[in-house]
Amino acid sequence: MKQVTLKPLQVGLLGIGTVGSGVFNVLQRNQGEILRRSGRGIEISMVADLDTARAQAAVGKDVTVVADARAVIANPEIDIVVELIGGYGIARQLVLEAIEAGKHVVTANKALLAVHGTEIFAAAHRKGVMVAFEAAVAGGIPIIKALREGLTANRIEWIAGIINGTTNFILSEMRDKGLDFDVVLKEAQRLGYAEADPTFDIEGVDAAHKAVLMSAIAFGVPVQFDKAYVEGITKLGAQDIRYAEQLGYRIKLLGITKKTAKGIELRVHPSLVPAKRLIANVEGAMNAVMVHGDAVGTTLYYGKGAGSEPTASAVIADLVDITRLHTADAAQRVPHLAFQPDAMSDTPVLAMGDVVTSYYLRLNVADEAGVLASVTGILAALGISIDAVLQREADEVGGEGSTQTDLIILTHDCVEARMNEALAQMQALPTVLAPITRIRKEELV
């Protein structure tokens, strides 16, 4: 039987910056391997970028380069639009217009999908096209495919991930060099790990965008960024990292989502993780995601979460998926959020006050008798059980002759609302001399 050779699928890139050029280069370099896997050619034939001269130099004379992204969407020859512009604004319009024009969409834009994903996926479902977004979470790590397909037999119970390389680099440097946050942030900016405006990274927003997408896929709920609890790393001191180490823990910024009897936890914040866990030993700008399923147990996915070619790897994997499924009945494709659109759940996302976890507390207190008894008395009265106490020598904390010291307390699990009440009472004690540092503790078992 004679095999029919299908015409290569035509791809239009919106944006040819770091990731876009990586996609073009990897696709060119590995064209033979990709064709053997996909069964059909994939060609980038059109690129939109405001800097047309730079874009043309990057892709060569055989690719059409335009300044207007809508010219790519309007081209009837283009089968797949790859959105690499970023942000919530024009990217949303362009993605919706591409869907309306019957184009499949590949995007690395986690912010867009975390905020507008429900609208975008619904539009794609109506038009029978695919929106693929492997590159939106953890760069080159195929975590979306693992959650949507590889672990589909499981009830996912929880996910915890280091999903922002900038903050992990900063925390690793703080631990290695004993430096404070501000000093390491400047170094991260100098090395190119942190943006000139690092707010989305250091305040946990970028990690929250990714956690929201993983939560939706794991539990079959809509994307709902507005329900996530988000806390960054800006308030962490070098002493917290040092004390955590002495207690057998590392501090990591984690994106956590968990299914409980009362609802879904969806939170991003610094966490103490036992040093013996593999994820606690993920250093530098690397990413790692732990997923716990009822059948498979705990699995770990590790790799580069950003960068030109790691992200391009994920974008091209999506292009190959679309190429394989291009002619398939839309109803037979893997659903965008793993669950069939009419089987999505309305399980509520818990308010942070309802979350149950354990805590690390650092109190800067007057070095005098009765302080520890006052603090532990408040915790006991609220039914909060203490796991460990570490009291530093005053000289070690404030130098010779110091009249203040650090009191470190690890607690067992309690509901956050009760801990908030305890913190308010402890903060009001005249012997507590500075704002109390509270870091949540995750055993990840």
Q: Determine which of 48-62, 184-198, 396-410, 431-445 has the lowest per-residue pLDDT on average.
A: 396-410
Amino acid code (one letter) for 179: L
Q: Using alpha carbons, select from 58, 52, 59, 48 the residue that is nearest to residue 91.
A: 48
Annotated catalytic residue 103: no
> Which pair of tokens denotes residue 264?
């879904």
- pLDDT, tens digit (0-9, with 9 covering 90-100), for 413-445: 999 999 999 999 999 999 999 999 999 999 998
Calculate the CA dihedral of residues 176, 291, 217, 194 and round it to 10 degrees.
Answer: 10
> Which pair of tokens denotes residue 293?
């399923």
**147 lies in a domain?**
no
Between residues 396 and 224, the one the model is more confident about: 224
Q: What distance in Å separates the CA atoms of residue 233 and residue 190, rounded to the nearest whole number? A: 19
Amino acid code (one letter) for 155: R
**Same domain? 68 vs 31:** yes
Model confidence band, residue 399 (pLDDT cutoffs 50, 70, 90) = low
Amino acid code (one letter) for 71: A
**112 lies in a domain?**
yes
> Which pair of tokens denotes residue 277?
């866990």
**195 lies in a domain?**
yes
**Same domain? 298 vs 391:** no
Looking at residue 326, what is its pLDDT? 79
Q: What distance in Å separates the CA atoms of residue 167 and residue 169, rounded to the nearest whole number? A: 5
**Cβ 338 vs Cβ 143: under 8 Å:** no
Count the helices and strands in the chain (H runs, E runs).
16, 17
Q: Can you say whether the dihedral through the CA atoms of 236, 237, 241, 243 is positive or negative?
A: negative
- Stretch 273-291: mean pLDDT: 97
Amino acid code (one letter) for 357: T
**Same domain? 170 vs 111:** no
**Same domain? 74 vs 202:** no
**Cβ 402 vs Cβ 411: under 8 Å:** no
Q: What distance in Å separates the CA atoms of residue 256 and residue 103, rounded to the nearest whole number? A: 33
- pLDDT, tens digit (0-9, with 9 covering 90-100), for 37-79: 998 999 999 999 999 999 999 999 999 999 999 999 999 999 9
Q: Does residue 13 carry a pLDDT above 80? A: yes
Q: Determine which of 41-55, 249-263, 304-318, 337-351 has the lowest per-residue pLDDT on average.
A: 337-351
**Same domain? 80 vs 183:** no
**Same domain? 277 vs 329:** no
**Same domain? 315 vs 363:** no
Which residue is it, tokens 């009837």?
76
Task: Name the domain count of the chain.
Answer: 3
Looking at residue 402, what is its pLDDT? 78
**Same domain? 30 vs 157:** no
**Same domain? 387 vs 435:** yes
**Same domain? 162 vs 292:** yes
Catalytic position from the list 103, 110, 210, 252: 210
**Same domain? 295 vs 313:** no
Looking at residue 68, what is its pLDDT? 96
Q: What is the CATH number of the domain that holds 295?
A: 3.30.360.10
**13 lies in a domain?**
yes
**350 lies in a domain?**
no
**Same domain? 17 vs 109:** yes
> Which pair of tokens denotes residue 159?
């996910």
**Cβ 104 vs Cβ 132: under 8 Å:** yes
Write down which residue in 288, 321, 343 finishes a domain.
343
The backbone torsions φ and ψ at residue 229, rounded to the nearest 5 degrees and listed phi first, read: -90, 125
Q: Does residue 274 carry a pLDDT above 60? A: yes
> CA dist 2 to 5, 324, 337, 346, Å?
9, 20, 38, 50
**275 lies in a domain?**
yes
**117 lies in a domain?**
yes
User: Which domain covers residue 196, as residue numbers?
Assistant: 152-304
**417 lies in a domain?**
yes
Q: Using alpha carbons, select from 160, 175, 174, 262 the residue that is nearest to residue 207.
A: 160
Q: Using alpha carbons, select from 412, 441, 170, 148 the residue that is nearest to residue 291.
A: 148
Looking at residue 1, what is its pLDDT? 47
Q: What is the CATH number of the domain that holds 406?
A: 3.30.70.260
Q: What distance in Å separates the CA atoms of residue 281 and residue 426, rounded to the nearest whole number? A: 33
| DSSP single-letter state for residue 432 | B
